[in-house]
Chain A
Amino acid sequence: MDSSLVMIGLTNVLSVNNIACILGGTLLGLFVGAMPGLSATMALALLLPLTFSFDPATGLSMLASLYVGASYGGSIAAILLRTPGTPSAAATVLDGFPLSQQGKAGQALGISLFASFFGGLMSGIALLTAAPLLGTLVLEFGPVELFAIAVLGITIIGSLAQGSVISGLLSGGLGLLLSTVGMDLTTGTPRMTFGQINLFAGIDFTVALIGLFSVPQALTLIENSHRGGKVASRITDRLMPRWCTIKQLMPNILRSSGIGIVVGLIPGTGGDTASWFAYNEAKRFAKDKSRFGKGEIAGVAAPEAANNAVVGGALIPTIALGIPGSSSTAILLGALMVQGILPGPNLLTDYGDVTYTLIWAVILANIALLVVGLAFTKMSVSVTRIPDGFIACAILTLCIIGAFAINNSLFDVGLMLGFGLFGYWMSKAGVSPAPMVIGLILGPVMETSFQQSMLIGNDSFGVFLESPIATVLLILALLSILQATPFFRWLRAPFKRRLKPD
């Protein structure tokens, strides 16, 4: 690390103009993130041409802060309306919305904001100090290792299937099944598309997500709108979390940020995966697991710290090797190219001044997030004072716009409504949509990397045992499955007895 380049980067960012751009970018990001269907990637792509005429530092500051803002913004709608604004906020719904129903929306949003801030800041520091070191790790992750990660992720379904294990597994299996729709990677054959070319690229996971979470929520609100007795959130006094709460959550936030950085690092997995991993680990480490899903603040802090930590994590391979860790960082890489910088491993050396500008912009954007986020969140909580009927209509409108905006396709709107009706039935039947979402996210990753691994390993399963990383991850997955079955209790019983002889 060349310290003079680091300082040049810092001074580049610290101008009135750039700080204004960071504040503006963060606000825009919050807004985009809060809207279901509008994603950071989309906003970055639309903003990119506008920054061509800017000075490199200004353009990068604006883009980076937009990315950071959007990573937090998704949680606002997730907590207040049970409609995740971005795919990576889906896990936040599980505990965020129950908190909101209990009138603690302010507390949930405050925790979410601080967790996002710490997650983002930690990943920014990792980016600044350890990028070249961590960057080389990325090359260790090929299809074989990615498959092991996906398998480990799928085991989360087991722990999310609260209440009825059968219905949880069913929901997860259905998600996996739906993820096979579309062209087969190795043969190019369309599967289960019924000759409909809009399905060739598969079911867009965001379309399914909007349908499964948001539409049932809107319908339920309409159902209950005549009953009244709504709990208005008390926000004003609670938005700033107490210091002792933060201190208590710190181990959780640190762990989740670590998960976010690592998952972000690996190309092919992003915020949507990291938040579920973090949620699952928070639950695993918690003393009282039964409170998860009913309004546990740790269940809000974990996914939010993780999905903001993904930002820095995904930027690590981008700047260390010129390999984008996510589709959003691929666009940031495009922004660098326009400044005459060819993506490659010399970003930190030859083009260090511009690259360190980007890194500092990410770090400052997290500080801006705390400031702008507090104001923005305070305003958005007033949503809970609006009558349910109006909110339901607004949610439905946003769902339709959001589903359309992803691919500019009316077909996707229909698909989203289909998922919406199915999700409504699921909520009536008491089946959680969360396992299905995990199946939809990880199914394609698992299938693709399995097919690639089989090709690389000449159709031998031994290929998974040749890679130490994959072996460890697969063993963890096995333990994770065992933990959810009675076997684990039988295995543990003798140990417990030995520890406590009675």
Chain B
Amino acid sequence: MHAKPLRHWLTIAAVAISLSPLAQAADYVGGDEITVLQGFKPGGGSDALAQLVQPRLSEILGVDFVNEYMPGATGAVAWTRLAKQSPNDGSTISITNTPMLMTNYIMNDAITYKTDEMTPIANVVTDPGIVVVSADSPYQTIEDLFAAAEQSPGTVTIGNSGVGGDDFFTTILLEQAKGLSFKKVPFQGDGPSATAAMGGKIDASFNNVGNVYGQVESGNLRALAVFAEKRLTSLPDVPTMKEKGVDVVAGSSRGYSAPADIPEEARQQLIEAFQTLAKDPDFQAQAEKRAMNLDVVTGDDYRAMIDKMESDYREIWDSVKDQVGR
């Protein structure tokens, strides 16, 4: 009763801010209102992306965005709704977090949606993976960590954000690439994992740059390596895993997808809107201010990105699921 008027009120406020007279560039074929299903609680990382992207997208497309939060089963409640029960006329889309989007159903048979029941629109941000240790950790370089794991396999404790999250899989990828074995300690999210590393409760935390950047800058955590293609401009002294001879590039990405078979015109309009958005210097500046690492990949390329992740992660899970299940 009271949540609703407040939300309406906020929508009205958001519309009032976003609707400038010049905004009506194109008429979006999917209607004048787009519902965005969010698989997580308001105030989280997905919501932060929505706050950054949607007001600007609303100007470009001339539509209003309505956020619908349906948290549960690490996003699977919302994504099942998107794939199975949402109108495919372009009026409903969802924020899709990878690799959670596919690891959800790869790991649990009870989750029945598949990524081929969706139309990928655009990936927006990718937060690269990073290895951090506490400031007073004996491990000065990533080689030190490898050496420790080699010496006593299965005892070096590595924190991750939870089984099924990107950091969990990144740890396995690294283990397979280097022939090492770590003790993987799952936490409920990236924050607790980083805090445990900071307090020296675990040997290292596999995390994401956006979550720990402030702590690395201030010297509470030491970054040993990033799982990125090339060194990050924000952390120029931190080597990539590729430099160290480990071909693992991973991170946590967030983008937008629609249900399968939406009208081609709607799909094109949405994709073009994201392409326009990506070029907006104000958007780029705001993203940087919020420590979001832009990685705009649209349409078929986003589809290819999702398909590759799906087959990669399925393969990893098949190779380790018996050990994890114990």
Contact = CB atoms under 8 A, between A and B. Distances in A.
A141 B198 CA distance: 11
A321 B220 contact: yes
A379 interface: no
Contact of A322 (B43, B71, B107, B214): B214
Contacts of B201: 142-144, 456
A31 interface: yes
Nearest to A200: B73
A268 B192 contact: yes
A469 to B, nearest CB: 11
B73 A337 contact: no
Contacts of B14: 49
B218 A344 contact: yes
Contacts of A183: 73
B284 to A, nearest CB: 15
A501 B51 CA distance: 74
B185 interface: yes
Interface in A171-216: 183, 185-190, 193, 195-198, 200-201
A295 interface: no
Interface in B4-62: 6-7, 10, 13-14, 17, 41-43, 47-48, 51
B184 to A, nearest CB: 8
A396 to B, nearest CB: 13
Contacts of B184: 455
A338 B68 CA distance: 22
Nearest to B214: A344
Given A46-B7, A342-B291, A197 B111 contact: yes
Interface stretch (B85-93, B143-151, B157-165, B239-247): B157-165
Nearest to B107: A188
Contact of A185 (B43, B110, B163, B213): B163
Given A190-B108, A408-B70, A456 B202 contact: yes
A52 B108 CA distance: 39
B186 A186 contact: yes
A49 B17 CA distance: 11
Interface in B146-193: 155, 157, 162-164, 183-188, 191-192
B195 interface: yes
Contacts of A323: 191, 194-195, 198
Q: Identify the interface centre among B2, B198, B220, B326: most chain A CB within 10 Å of its CB.
A: B2
A197 B80 contact: yes
Interface stretch (A34-42, A87-95, A435-443): A34-42
Nearest to B1: A401
Interface in B217-236: 217-218, 220
Contact of A187 (B43, B73, B217, B324): B324
Given A42-B3, A408-B69, A344 B42 contact: no
Contacts of B1: 397-398, 401
Contacts of B293: none
Interface residues on chain B, size class:
35 or more
A366 to B, nearest CB: 23
A31 B2 contact: yes
B289 interface: yes
B137 interface: no
B47 A45 contact: yes
Contacts of A56: none
Nearest to A31: B2
B199 A142 contact: yes
B275 interface: no
B309 to A, nearest CB: 17
Given A139-B199, A455-B183, A188 B291 contact: no
Contacts of B13: 49-50
A197 B72 contact: yes
A197 B70 contact: no
B163 A187 contact: yes
A49 B110 CA distance: 35
A481 interface: no
A46 to B, nearest CB: 6
A110 interface: no
B196 interface: yes
A197 B162 contact: no
Interface of B: 1-3, 6-7, 10, 13-14, 17, 41-43, 47-48, 51, 68-74, 76-77, 80, 107-108, 110-111, 155, 157, 162-164, 183-188, 191-192, 194-196, 198-202, 213-215, 217-218, 220, 289-291, 324-326
Given A340-B289, A346-B218, 16 more contacts: A38-B3, A138-B195, A140-B199, A187-B325, A188-B324, A198-B72, A201-B72, A268-B192, A327-B43, A337-B291, A342-B213, A344-B218, A407-B72, A408-B68, A448-B188, A458-B183
Closest 3 CB pairs of A and B: A344-B214, A142-B201, A45-B43
